[in-house]
Amino acid sequence: MIPFLHLGPISIPTFGLMVAIGMLAAAYLLQADFDRRRSQLKSISARNEKDEGFLIIGIAGLAGLIGARLYHVLESPHEFFANPWPQLFSRYGFAWFGGFLGGFIALVILAYWVKIPLLEFLDICSPAACVGYAIGRIGCLLSGDGDYGIPTSLPWGMSFPRGLVPTTGIWDPEGHSGVCNKYGLPQNCTVHPTPLYEFFIWLAIAAFLWHMGTKSLKGPKAKGEIFCNYLILTGIARFSIEFIRLNPHSFFGMSNAQTASLVSILLGAVLLWRLKSQFHGQKKEHRIVEHIASRGDVLQPEYHRPTLECPHPERWHMYDSMSAEVEVLDFLKAIVTTLKPELIVETGTFSGLSTLRIAEGLKANGFGRVITCEYDAKVFAAAQQRFASSGLGQWIDARNESSLDMKVEGRIDLLFCDSDAPLREQEVRKFLPQMNPHGLILMHDASSLMKTVREGALKLEAEGLLSVLLLPTPRGLVVAQKREGRS
């Protein structure tokens, strides 16, 4: 092993060098996470800073090193208080859990400083923390500081004859000769290279957490979920590694690190359960609306399951799981500009995306209006905000009421049903007497996997009320006309 790099008169400890490289890599990853969220985190955009990640990692990393050192020396309080200063300022001995506590306290303070909600801030920092820790462990390997495992005969076992804590020969911090190895290891033994194990495990955890972050950008997720998984996964990893480490055991046959890992696992599990319970206690519509408010509209591939009529849904696009596909939204606008309707009725405003596409068509025509309704007051308020900022408000008559209670005067040229699926058939029956015989009725969510709307439309056709065409989009789209319009 290489405890020090000697450059002329300068000796550079490899542990410190790898910690510095780990912090630099963590800073780059954190900055990348900030950059991909920049348009969606208003506090970062307002600050317009490009180096948040480096500043945060610098402060949190320093706090983590201080915490790791203090935790290590306080594990043996009698030795520490008997001779504190040499131990406090030694270049050796850093405890993982102490580093976590020191860094966590710093991150809590930094979250307030950058004006990002704490749980969301911890989510962003978790993958970077894993990468920094993983690379720092290579410093333990290079220096041979005693963080290796128990003797092994496995082919990848390693020995550290020149490490700070050798696995062979003698080791004596006072410089005397003839003293046995500190850990009682036999001569010329090979041990588990546990720093390497941790390096690969923590990088895998970082990749998983980064993937979770990617998913959270596309759809609503509980804030704090990534951080909770960080606590659980890193706790399990460290608890497991300790079984082949040489650390002394104390609490119920566990090492101090295992005890701390159990605390991390339990804390993460309880917090995750609470956050998920609160998250799933919200209505799905509210979760999506809140996600749109904080993240904006995120274009992504459609993820509806393949059907016989649409075997490649990934070729379509979507903004959220409850709005029509982007191509269907464009289709709505095209129908409006093609048919030139004067009165359009839409049921199920939701986020207002479809309403705005219809309004764009009306504006291009220069006449007409769309009456849209949304029963949920919270969802309606969010849609109203979107309409107010769109510049298309003059074409939209938005109402906070149920579609089955809504009163519409005049002849309807286009009816777009996109409310709760069980209501679609009732909505068509309600507005059918007012439908222009030559107008169109569109019913979304009519794929062969979403039978309620599809079967309702076919039932109306069987009764002789409609002529129905089923478009093979991922979620299915009914295009229908009053039967009398075919005469």
- Cβ atoms of residues 364 and 339 within 8 Å: no
Half-sphere exposure of 178 (CA within 13 A, CB side): 0
Do residues 255 and 242 lie in contact, with contact meaning Cβ atoms separated by under 8 Å? yes
pLDDT at 176: 37
Residue 468: name the closest of 477, 476, 479, 459 by CA.
479
Q: What is the pLDDT of residue 177?
A: 39
| CA-closest candidate to residue 120, choices 273, 227, 264, 12 | 227
Q: Which two tokens stand for residue 170?
A: 């003698």
Give phi and psi for 380, each to the nearest 5.
-60, -40
Nearest to 183 by CA among 242, 244, 140, 246: 246
- Residue 77: DSSP 8-state: H
Using a CB cutoff of 8 Å and minimum separation of 24, what contacts does 388-393 make?
390/356, 390/359, 392/356, 392/359, 392/360, 392/363
Which domains are present in the chain? Answer: 4-281 (no CATH), 318-486 (3.40.50.150)
Q: How high is the pLDDT of residue 417?
A: 97
Look at the block and give the residue holding tokens 């804030």: 223
C-alpha to C-alpha distance for 421 and 376, rounded to whole angstroms: 15
Instruction: Determine how β-strand 4-7 pairs with β-strand 369-373.
Output: unpaired
**Contact criterion met (CB below 8 Å) for 114 and 36:** no
Helix ranges restricted to H, 416-463 = 424-431, 451-462
State the SS3 of 186-246: CCCCCECCHHHHHHHHHHHHHHHHHHHHHHHHHCCCCCCHHHHHHHHHHHHHHHHHHHHEC
Cβ(95)–Cβ(199) below 8 Å: no
Number of H helices, E strands in the chain: 16, 13
Residue 27, number of CB atoms within 10 A of its CB: 23
Q: Are 114 and 52 contacting, i.e. CB atoms less than 8 angstroms apart?
A: yes
The burial of 462, by beta-carbon neighbours within 10 Å (0-12 exposed, 13-18 middle, 19 or more buried), is given as exposed
Look at residues 465, 384, 372, 474 and name the one whose alpha carbon lies nearest to residue 419: 372
Q: What is the DSSP letter of 272?
A: H
Residue 158 to residue 182: CA distance in whole angstroms: 17
* Alpha-carbon gap, residue 279 to 340, rounded angstroms: 43
User: Helices 52-74 and 96-114: crossing angle, nearest 10°?
Assistant: 150
Ranges assigned E (strand) in 294-350: 300-301, 317-318, 343-347
Query: Judging by DSSP bridges, how do beta strands 10-13 and 4-7 pair with one another?
Result: antiparallel
Distance, in Å, from the CA atom of 356 to the CA atom of 254, rounded to the nearest integer, reads 61
Q: Would you tell me how many other CB atoms lie within 10 Å of the CB of residue 20?
A: 15
Which segments of the chain have a pLDDT < 50?
43, 45-46, 48, 88, 169-180
Give the per-residue pLDDT at 169. Answer: 45
Strand partners, 6: 11
**Of 323, 324, 325, 328, which Cα lies nearest the Cα of 314?**
325
